[in-house]
Amino acid sequence: MELILEQLIFFFSILLLLFAPGYFLFLAVFGKEAPFNQLEKSTVFFGASFLVVTFLLLFLGKIGLQINRFSTIVSVLTACLLLYALYRLRMRFGHFKKDSISEKIVFGKKQTLAIAILVFLTIFIKTVYLQNAIFPTSTDLGHHMYWSKLTVETGQIPVYQKSEISQSPDGKYSIGSPEPIADFIIGEHLIFSAISLVSGIGLVSYLPSSILFLINIFSVLSIFILSAEIFKRLPFGNNVAISALLFIGPLYAISSPQAKFVSGGVVGNIFGNFLMPLIIYFAIKALKEKSSLQMAMAILFGLALAYTHHLSTFILVFSVAFSAVFILFSFRKDILDISRTMIKTLFSPACATVLVFSFVMLFFIYTPTYLNFSAVDTAVGTPSKSTRTGLTFQQLTSSSGHARMIMGILGLIAVLLIHRARDFGKSFLLGWTFAILIMSLWPSLLFVDIPSNRIANYLIPPLSILAGFFMVGIFEISKATSPKKSALGVFSMKPLGATTILTLLLVMSITNGLSDNSSSLSDGSNIEKAVQTFESSKYLAEKIGPDDVILKDHNYMTADAWMKLFFYKDYNFPFSRAYFKRYEDETKPRERCTLNMISLPNSEEAKKCFSGTGTNFIVVNPAYDGSQFRKIKNFWQVYQSDAVLILHKKN
């Protein structure tokens, strides 16, 4: 009964925070009769709600109001009311004229059935995976939820900073004052805080992964609606979108950046994978329909992305730049016309309003932490490590899925071959794909200094669309009796040949995609150990005082990154003995106190560290550590469970 009530409140919170604001924003911008189908609307409502809630909380934080359940609900309801008032005002002034250019994308009976099956399968497969991965254990998610929890506990926008152990020139160790961190971006955290506040459900629970799951499903839908928009003018355009849905939905449903990123807590990436296709979707609609409102939405979502994930924003900038090149090439004969339209659109009241709003947000309300020269400097330049010098094609194929890569590349060639028509959608698709291909394979060409395997994950959405296009294209050219009558206008193929190829491709894709799923399933053996980590953290949180300092191990403990959510002292509290290889990384030298205090607690260096930092609690896994403390007289063993050992250094 309690669970049912909790779930009802949770669903209500999601409706209030992740659908209602977006619905009213959409209403105010496009009115009731806008030519969007239900799937498009649902996806846009979800994205628009995310950006409204994020900006609202930033505004609340700026004016000094406590961010709590009351202020969150009241501000969201007020925003909805104001947006509704704006809709009524615009309706009175006749702003919602029926657009003759744009048409709603409509699906036939069989297409609707196919979409329904694919959506259901996608959710089903990811649910099966998440049943052993819904429990909060992931390191990344633990790090992110600390900031969300901080907002819940303090009612303030978090200040991204952490204390580190440092060594003075005379060799003494100490814990420094908190220093800013550029790795975290506010948009990754506020929505979780808001939902936790409104629902009352804690963050050390299913809540974060459930929200990420929801965002992941909508990212699949955003790619689906984008595909439908890109290929809208083709008679088989809807089928391409459905085929793309197959490649981004049930196939490879678990591998990165799909459900694995959900359970792994790669929060920013998941948001980026949702927002990027949505931005491109609105940009294409804006250019096709010459609509300043659509362009304003693209810019607004771009702003939301900039507040959420720096890497995705970086990749979007490159994708847009490459797309611009393809557009200029496709429309080279009408370049003046295009330029005039672009300028007219950008300087329209709608876009100008959004640009002014962006300016105010960035310079007066809240500037994202990564927008400083040092952060930009780390991403741009000659690759500094071997992991940033580009992947091989084999590695890229491995990360994208073999079937998807093969068909995606064939689809890319097909799009290039038929890219005679001046088409904004296909220009964006080509630009997006080429930008990420070059950034992954030859990053030095673009002076990109970011881990190449992280960029490679971004190839999956455009590759899925291209793979979908190729699959359907084979089918279509088999129907034509001559090359000229083929829907692709390039060549035709005998039906038997096309059917054979299509069947082989389908079997290969399904086998490859589903076997990838099965090999990624987790066995959930970490859960019991994680529970012990949480119970021991609760024990310590009750017993320690303001002067106590804890050091824990990250190598052998489970869910240790979540321990900080029990203390709220500092992002780096407790301190952590990091993965051993990190202490050997010459490109990023780090202090060795956290290593020595656990590995060699009786060494002279460790003694200096204990004395300088005041560390007096050690938390480790008894299966791997603990014996090194037994012979040291001033260490007490104060807590032992199967997976956790706590020692207290008595001075």
Partner 1 sequence: MKKNLRENSITILLFASMAVSIFYLSFLEKKQHDPDDGKNWWALYFKNPKDYSMDFTIENHSRNENFTLEIFVERNRIRNEELYLKKGAKKDIQVTHSEMEGTGKKILIKVSGDGQMKEIYKIL
- Point out which residues bind partner 1 (CB under 8 A): 3, 6-7, 10-11, 37-39, 42, 106-107, 109, 112, 115-116, 119-120, 123-124, 126-127, 130-131, 134-135, 205-206, 209-210, 213-214, 217, 221, 524, 527-528, 531-532, 535-536, 539, 543, 548, 617, 633-634, 636-644, 646, 648, 650
- Output the smallest distance, CB 135 to partner 1, in A: 5
Identity of the residue, 548 or 570, whose beta carbon is nearer to partner 1 in the bound complex? 548
Angle of helix 38-62 relative to helix 267-289, nearest 10 degrees? 120
3-state DSSP call for residue 357? helix
Residue type for position 173 = Y
Q: Which residue, 58 or 130, has its beta carbon nearer to partner 1? A: 130
CB of 53 to partner 1, least distance (A): 19
Q: Phi/psi at 161 (nearest 5 deg)?
A: -155, 160
Strand-pair partners of 645: 620, 640
Q: Could you tell me the smallest distance in angstroms from the CB atom of residue 266 to partner 1? A: 18
> Per-residue b/e over 616-629, b at no fewer than 16 CB within 10 Å?
bbbbbbbeebbebb
Closest CB 406 distance from partner 1, rounded Å: 29
Q: How far is the CB of 638 from partner 1 (least distance, A)?
A: 4
User: Could you tell me if 48 and 79 are in contact, meaning their C-beta atoms sit under 8 angstroms apart?
Assistant: no
Q: How far is the CB of 210 from partner 1 (least distance, A)?
A: 5
Q: Which is nearer to partner 1, 208 or 462 (CB)?
A: 208
Two tokens, residue 449: 């200094």
> In whole angstroms, how close is the CB of 415 to partner 1 at the nearest point?
27
**How far are the Cα atoms of 105, 241, 246, 406, 487 from residue 109, in angstroms, in the given order?**
13, 15, 18, 30, 22
Nearer to partner 1, 86 or 632 (CB): 632
CB of 209 to partner 1, least distance (A): 8
Residue 399 CA to residue 296 CA, distance in Å, equals: 34
CB of 217: closest distance to partner 1 in angstroms? 6
In this structure, what token pair is assigned to residue 85? 């008032």
> What stretch of H or E contains 399?
helix 393-400
Residue-by-residue DSSP string for 492-558: ---HHHHHHHHHHHHHHHHHHHHHHHHHH----TTHHHHHHHHHHHHHHHHH--TT-EEEEESSS-S
Contact 390, 448 (CB under 8 A): no
If the CB atoms of residues 75 and 536 are measured against partner 1, the closer one turns out to be: 536
Instruction: Give the nearer residue to partner 1 in terms of CB position, either 477 or 646.
Output: 646
Tokens of 177: 């004052």
Q: What share of the chain is helix, strand, coil (3-state, %, to 5)?
A: 65, 5, 30
Q: How many residues does the chain have?
A: 651
**266 by DSSP, 3-state: which?**
coil
Shortest distance, position 336 Cβ to partner 1, whole Å: 40
Smallest distance, Å, CB 119 to partner 1?
A: 6
Closer residue to partner 1 (CB): 206 or 442: 206
Smaller CB separation from partner 1, 256 or 616: 616
Would you say 532 or 596 has its CB closer to partner 1? 532
Alpha helices in 200-291 (DSSP H): 207-230, 237-248, 259-264, 267-289
Report residue 216 as tokens.
Answer: 């992941």
Of 217 and 315, CB closest to partner 1: 217
Number of H helices, E strands in the chain: 26, 9
Nearer to partner 1, 48 or 474 (CB): 48
Whose Cβ is closer to partner 1: residue 267's or residue 418's?
Answer: 267
Smallest gap from residue 9 Cβ to partner 1 (A): 11
Burial 486-498 (b: 16+ CB within 10 A, else e): bbbeeebbeeeeb
Residue (of 212, 254, 198) closest to 9 by Cα position: 198
